[in-house]
Amino acid sequence: MLHSLVPRTGHEPEDWKVKCISIRKRAHSFYKRLAAFEYRYLILELNLMGKNPKGAVIPVLNLKGQYQALQDEIQLAIQKVLSTQSFILGENVAALEEEIAQYCGVAYGVGVASGTDALLLALKAAGVGPGDEVIVPAFSFVATADVVGLLGAVPVFVDIDPASYTIDVSQVKASITPNTRAVIPVHLYGQPANMAELLTICEEHGLTLIGDTAQALGADYHESPVCSFGDFGCISFFPSKNLGAYGDGGMIVVKQKEQADLLKKLRSHGSSVKYCSEIQGWNSRLDEIQAAILRVKLPYLDQWNLIRAEHAAMYNQILGDVDGLIIPKTMSDRTHVFHQYTVRVPNRDAVRAMMLESGIETAVHYPIPLHLQPMYRSLGYRRGDLPVAEKAAEEVLSLPVYPELEDSQIERISLALRAAVESQVEVLLPIEA
């Protein structure tokens, strides 16, 4: 529809084409905002009807409102799968693979059983094995590094950029050795890493670049989907994600058919022909029912991400002047889809306890940096080796940010956090003689 706003002949001057692109972008932005407004109005109606009642506690994650808004569509999609009795790699998986690939601006998508498996199979497809090293950020969910060890390779941990919480590019370059095979930047909390510089480094050194996009589906980097950067883009459909299934699920997006064909073998016991395994593989297939649910949800993803960004802007406005509290920063060359709205506070655990006393749940993503996890003790890392990640792990606190939140709830959360942080700042003030 957007392409039909202006007639095309195929022989337009470049400046005319630029104007058309600008018009289409503005129109697309308008429709996203209109859809976001309509969704927020629907949630308000459900609340007024008592289908989504307000309780004393504001949960850090609440998927009930989303289900109530989409209930009829989701139940119909599930019933269609049940009526076909096709549960493994059926038409919904194939269709979702095409739809996600198109959404991410690449040619191919390969559905797998989880976001963790997406990383594992991508590494395997890249040829990573025993003795290899893979550079990963020290501040992430453990799956980012866990998959490296599962292939017999060694994770090499580097620090993060303090503003974006994504991998510190300067440390990546300094950590490359003859054994380095790949780099996995994590687009943490929904904000892309510095992919331009990482691409340059990986090209210079012949390394595979695998984007961990578990938390950032829909985010843009330099006005292009962040999943389109690098050799592999790995997606998680864990229920809490911005696009979440009703169980585990994941996908790998790639540009080359050869990559997609290899990944499809790896997810099915190394087989492209039934009962004939050509290589060592796994059983890691995206479930047909989950794919059907995700296909219902995918058209809503842009508006959900936009609402999350609006919530973040409201939080920033209310909390921006609180002493001792650091609000998230969105870098100028990328968009942030706010899978998490994560602040930094003094005496985090005390603040969190006070928030819970006020009837507000929060979360900590993540309390232990990867290089200090017990499972990596043998690698010899010590406290103080990666100070930015270590400090973040002591201070980060994630607030509710799901699209179904109401403005009044954000105000309540913000005021409670302001009071909690200010009380801790007073405690930490030096006593004057």
Q: Quote the CA–CA distance of 183 and 137 in Å, as a whole number.
A: 9
3-state secondary structure of 156: strand
Q: Are 396 and 160 in contact (CB under 8 A)?
A: no
Q: Quote the CA–CA distance of 75 and 417 in Å, as a whole number.
A: 38
Radius of gyration for the chain, computed over Cα atoms and rounded to the nearest angstrom? 23
From 124, 241, 264, 297, the catalytic residue: 241
- Hey, what are 245's tokens? 């299934």
3-state secondary structure of 328: coil
- 233 burial (CB, 10 Å; 0-12 / 13-18 / 19+) is buried
Q: Quote the CA–CA distance of 28 and 193 in Å, as a whole number.
A: 25
- 240 burial (CB, 10 Å; 0-12 / 13-18 / 19+) is middle
- Give yes or no: 173 in active site: no
Q: Are 101 and 248 in contact (CB under 8 A)?
A: no
The catalytic residues are 241
